Chains A and B, each alone.
Chain A
Amino acid sequence: MPVRALRGISSRVSAQLLIAVALFAVAALVVVPLVRLVQVVVEGGGSSISRVLSAADLTAAEHSLELAVAVPLLAVPLGTGLALLLRHADVPCRGLLRVLVVLPLLIPQFVLGYSWTQAYGRAGFTDDLVGVHWSGLTGPAGIIVVLVVDAVPICYLLTTVGLATRAQPELELASRVSGATGWAALRTVTLPLLRPVLAAEIVLVFVATLESFAAPQVLGAPSGYATLTTRMYADLSRGSNPDTFRDAVTLALGLVLIAAALLVPADLVLAPKLRSSRAASAGGGQPPRRRGGAVVAALVAVYSILAVLLPTVALVAAAITRAIGLPPTPSNWTLGNFRAALDAPTREALGNSLQLAVLAALALTALGAIVAALERYRSGRLLGTLAMLTFAVPGSALAVGLLIAYDRTLGGTLALILLAYLAKFWALAHRTISGAVDRMPAGEWQAARVSGAGPVVAVRTVWLPGLAPALAAAAVLVFVTALHEVTMSSLLYSTGTETFAVAVLNSQQLGDTGTTAALSVTLTAVLVVIAVPAWLLLRRQAHHRVSADRVEMASA
């Protein structure tokens, strides 16, 4: 819903009303929970602060920071390297390799972590096969590796977009004809131009790691390696001791402060540098290379096999093998694990998850569109920033805040979890839609109006066809992320409001390999079945637009 349409409908008043609604939403979803966090800590007279600063919790904070520093330092170079390698058209099977690289986006983090234990852990796939397992997997090293694999797709995608919008192919060609070798062009032109994008990736992965809960829980719990998020989870599930509760709240507040301490200055410095109205170039434009395409393809394939495919195969094997320790040969195959796993409570959990994901997707697509439109007003500009800030509040802290603020009214209902999803994923929808609105040329709208279309007709005939892919992308993104989500729902669920992801996590804690594997496979399959067709559809849409741009460029 573009803002100029609103203006055309004549209602500055209705815009003000929408802004008020959006501000109310921000207040209810984020501000109130955060204020309640502070209140609880203050009410305790600060005793929880001194307790938290004692040994055990301080160690958890150290662990969190350790991970948050290590993961971006590995994931950003890896994702960027893959993006740079897969730019060249002479890489065989490039389309397939690109899909493989972004595939982990569909695999929930705890499923990824769990499948790694099935592949490389004790009694895992490689242990069975060649008697080799990685004992460091359940510990900081394993957590780091899994979090890196989890973060690589997003780094890859951001760098790819950055390459298209900032390091225009022509700029590199100019350096090549100025006498720079491929490496020199990379060092002197491409990477300097990407610097703001890479910095943003580092910040993003830092914060995502800081608030990550699933991989540290799955891989860290067995060896007693606790982080801020897993410690909060432990504190809150240990029962109703007011002191441990207050400790968890204090940790949540600490998490918010650490995230804000990095994000606020980073946003101030990076945001202006990242703002670019330049449209992505229509690809191509790499100087021909004489060799190396096959080597690149092999490298990417090996990464993908080791990081994603082999663990997935191991997970599926565990899910369909009759008992742990048996070789995964057809004679030992069974669907018993699935039958046992998908009992009535689990089916209810799956229903809960789908319900939450659909509601969150629909509500946030509407809310995201409203904020993207309102951002064009002076008074609405703040909203965009606020929407982004909601994303910066770590999920665990947000969940604890919502729990304190609304437990009395909404406790034990799905609405409480839905609130958490709305608060946390608003930014995802907003980003996606707002980016598309930014790229929409003002001329299209003006041309429709001077061609005789009224504001409503112009929205329907010119804006919506252009924005439809972005709206759909936002909905799919929220849907997938909501199905993945375990950090907040594991803190907010109660009897009857268990989500499917929580069911998988709980099953994993109980230690039943076959059931957990079957549930993990089911969850990933649901995501693949829903997300892949949607993604293919979106890609076709986007492709139409790009090829149209190309025709325009060629005829210009």
Chain B
Amino acid sequence: MRSDVDAVRCVGLQVCYSGVPAIDEVDLTVALGEVVAVLGASGSGKSTLLHAVAGLVQPSAGEIWLSGQRVATARRGTAPEQRDVGLVFQDFALWPHLTALDTVAYPLQRAGRSRADARARARTLLDQLDIGHLAQRRPAQLSGGQQQRVGLARALARDPRVFLLDEPTAHLDTHLRAAFQDSVRDRQAETGAAAVYATHDAGEALALADRVALVVCGRLVQIASPQVVYEQPVSVATAGLTGAFSVLAAHVSMPSAGVLAVDLGDGYAEVPGGGASDSRAVLLRPDWVGLGGPFRARIAACSFRGAHSDYALETSSGTVHMQLPGPPQHAVGESVEWGIRRAWALPGGTAGETAVQPSAVIAPG
């Protein structure tokens, strides 16, 4: 039975470039119909992982299985054209000499269909992605967003059991990303195939995926649902991958399961949360913090972001980032009371470390 078998299974995978491992000890399984986002910084090995699964690079250790068949070991690998995968490239990789229609028909022709037959099917795929009217254009005559839709259609044309998407939106403008992500999710749901989606964009990974795999320096450090990787990071490094956060020095204890008691010196709160019981540092996401509560702070910076405002609160335990809906309600320098709705005790974390994603940088004043 098709559904009993994992669509992708990597076991102890290692890929080296000139002797230096780009990814190492990667264990990853993706079920049929599942979307796994591989989230990591540039150069962390996301592309290498996808290329290894597609057969474009040879592992130096470990194994890759696709739909229950072993396709690669350190010794031998099945050729890319014989693997049941479709790959969408970061910089599109469209052939400059072929029209959009012929590009999408290409995999179908390689699979043995006649030219006319392949073109008919390609036209349907282009129509489904709302670019049917661009069928006769070549890549140079298409915008970035259109090119990547052609790239997606080409991957869809193989009708594979596994889609590999290698940072497909990295070169697209923000407003095109959402549209492209919608296309991916719709198509993936319809085909019921598995998808591995590499990205460095936290929002994209959390929104698209059933599970998120966090990659740091070529190693998978956490694989869990989007909510878990956001709320329960295993380290400061992985916390930074999934969004902005602050870390405060605190006395924490766990009075009961799922409840975290946080003592910041000037106040005390019991909130939903968890983490390491011996922790001396607590991690707070900007949306877990609000005005009014047991703690005291001075507003060090505040900036208006449209739908919400970002604040930097100066407390005796460190700086806290807070996100509140609407325009700023307090001026810089004002003293306020604040509280928390949720917290996470970091294992061995040190206080004072913060990571702020570019979109949440708080400008002074």
Cα distance A378–B201 when bound, in Å? 45
Evaluate whether A177 and B43 lie within 8 angstroms (CB atoms) in the complex, with A193-B97, A288-B58 already known: no
Q: Are A290 and B93 in contact (CB under 8 A)?
A: no
Question: Which A residues are CB-close (under 8 A) to B80?
Answer: 173, 176-177, 287
Chain B: which residue is nearest A174 at the CB level? B93
**B344 in the interface, Cβ–Cβ < 8 Å?**
no
Cα distance A555–B54 when bound, in Å? 23
Chain B: which residue is nearest A177 at the CB level? B87
Q: Are B76 and A175 in contact (CB under 8 A)?
A: no
Question: Which A residues are CB-close (under 8 A) to B97?
Answer: 192-193
Cα distance A287–B58 when bound, in Å? 8
Cα distance A168–B106 when bound, in Å? 18
Hey, what's the 0/1 contact readout for A262-295 against B, CB within 8 Å counting as 1?
Answer: 0000000000000000000000010110100000
Question: Which A residues are CB-close (under 8 A) to B158?
Answer: 178-179
**B67-112: which residues lie under 8 A (CB-CB) from chain A?**
76-77, 79-81, 83, 85-87, 89, 91, 93-97, 106-107, 110-111
Cα distance A190–B111 when bound, in Å? 19
**A521-556: which residues lie under 8 A (CB-CB) from chain B?**
554-556
Evaluate whether A193 and B96 lie within 8 angstroms (CB atoms) in the complex, with A174-B89, A179-B81 already known: yes
Evaluate whether A173 and B79 lie within 8 angstroms (CB atoms) in the complex, with A287-B55, A288-B57, A554-B43 already known: no
Evaluate whether A287 and B91 lie within 8 angstroms (CB atoms) in the complex, with A177-B56, A192-B97, A555-B42 already known: no
Q: Are A181 and B91 in contact (CB under 8 A)?
A: no
**A10 in the interface, Cβ–Cβ < 8 Å?**
no
**A180 in the interface, Cβ–Cβ < 8 Å?**
yes
Evaluate whether A175 and B43 lie within 8 angstroms (CB atoms) in the complex, with A181-B81, A188-B106, A287-B56 already known: no
Q: Are A178 and B110 in contact (CB under 8 A)?
A: yes
Instruction: Identify which of B77, B85, B93, B158 gathers the most chain A CB atoms within 10 Å of its CB.
Output: B93
Cα distance A184–B106 when bound, in Å? 11
Q: How far is the CB of B321 from chain A (nearest CB, A)?
A: 27
Question: Which A residues are CB-close (under 8 A) to B42?
Answer: 555-556
Hey, what's the 0/1 contact readout for B195-239 against A, CB within 8 Å counting as 1?
Answer: 000000000000000000000000000000000000000000000
Evaluate whether A178 and B96 lie within 8 angstroms (CB atoms) in the complex, with A170-B89, A287-B55, A554-B43 already known: no
Q: Are B85 and A177 in contact (CB under 8 A)?
A: yes
Evaluate whether A173 and B77 lie within 8 angstroms (CB atoms) in the complex, with A288-B57, A556-B42 already known: no
Question: Which B residues are CB-close (under 8 A) to A193?
Answer: 95-97
Cα distance A170–B83 when bound, in Å? 17
**B154 in the interface, Cβ–Cβ < 8 Å?**
yes
User: Contacting A179 at CB < 8 Å: which of B51, B89, B94, B107?
Assistant: B107
**A171 in the interface, Cβ–Cβ < 8 Å?**
yes
Q: Are A180 and B81 in contact (CB under 8 A)?
A: yes
User: Contacting A177 at CB < 8 Å: which of B58, B77, B81, B111?
Assistant: B81
Q: How many B residues touch A, CB cutoff 8 Å?
A: 31
Cα distance A287–B80 when bound, in Å? 8
Cα distance A164–B83 when bound, in Å? 27
User: Contacting B110 at CB < 8 Å: which of A168, A180, A290?
Assistant: A180
Hey, what's the 0/1 contact readout for A248-270 against B, CB within 8 Å counting as 1?
Answer: 00000000000000000000000
Q: How far is the CB of A193 from chain B (nearest CB, A)?
A: 6
Question: Which B residues are CB-close (under 8 A) to A178?
Answer: 81, 106-107, 110, 154, 157-158
Question: Which B residues are CB-close (under 8 A) to A168?
Answer: 93
Cα distance A175–B158 when bound, in Å? 11
Evaluate whether A170 and B96 lie within 8 angstroms (CB atoms) in the complex, with A178-B154, A184-B110, A288-B58 already known: no
Cα distance A184–B95 when bound, in Å? 14
**A189 in the interface, Cβ–Cβ < 8 Å?**
yes
Q: Are B55 and A174 in contact (CB under 8 A)?
A: no
**A104-150: which residues lie under 8 A (CB-CB) from chain B?**
none
Hey, what's the 0/1 contact readout for B37-51 against A, CB within 8 Å counting as 1?
Answer: 000001100000001
Cα distance A177–B165 when bound, in Å? 12
Question: Which B residues are CB-close (under 8 A) to A554?
Answer: 43
**B147-168: which residues lie under 8 A (CB-CB) from chain A?**
154, 157-158
Question: Which B residues are CB-close (under 8 A) to A170?
Answer: 89, 91, 93
**A180-210: which residues lie under 8 A (CB-CB) from chain B?**
180-182, 184, 188-189, 192-193
Hey, what's the 0/1 contact readout for A340-373 against B, CB within 8 Å counting as 1?
Answer: 0000000000000000000000000000000000
Cα distance A180–B154 when bound, in Å? 13
Q: Are A177 and B55 in contact (CB under 8 A)?
A: yes
Q: How far is the CB of B153 from chain A (nearest CB, A)?
A: 11
Q: Are A175 and B106 in contact (CB under 8 A)?
A: yes
Cα distance A174–B57 when bound, in Å? 13
Question: Which B residues are CB-close (under 8 A) to A189?
Answer: 95
Question: Which A residues are CB-close (under 8 A) to B86?
Answer: 177
**A436-468: which residues lie under 8 A (CB-CB) from chain B?**
none
Question: Which B residues are CB-close (under 8 A) to A173?
Answer: 51, 56, 80, 93
Question: Which B residues are CB-close (under 8 A) to A555?
Answer: 42-43
Chain B: which residue is nearest A290 at the CB level? B76
Question: Which B residues are CB-close (under 8 A) to A285?
Answer: 56
**B53-67: which residues lie under 8 A (CB-CB) from chain A?**
54-58
**B106-132: which residues lie under 8 A (CB-CB) from chain A?**
106-107, 110-111
Instruction: Identify which of A179, A192, A193, A285 gathers the most chain B CB atoms within 10 Å of its CB.
Output: A179
Cβ-closest 5 pairs across A and B = A179-B110, A288-B58, A178-B107, A176-B80, A174-B93
Q: A179-B110, A290-B77 are in contact. List 19 more A-B contacts (CB 8 A).
A: A168-B93, A170-B89, A171-B96, A173-B56, A174-B154, A175-B106, A176-B79, A176-B80, A177-B80, A177-B83, A177-B85, A177-B87, A178-B106, A178-B107, A179-B81, A180-B81, A287-B79, A288-B55, A556-B42
Interchain Cβ contacts under 8 Å between A and B, 10 examples: A171-B94, A174-B89, A174-B93, A176-B55, A177-B54, A178-B81, A178-B154, A178-B158, A179-B107, A180-B81
Interface positions of B (Cβ within 8 A of A) = 42-43, 51, 54-58, 76-77, 79-81, 83, 85-87, 89, 91, 93-97, 106-107, 110-111, 154, 157-158
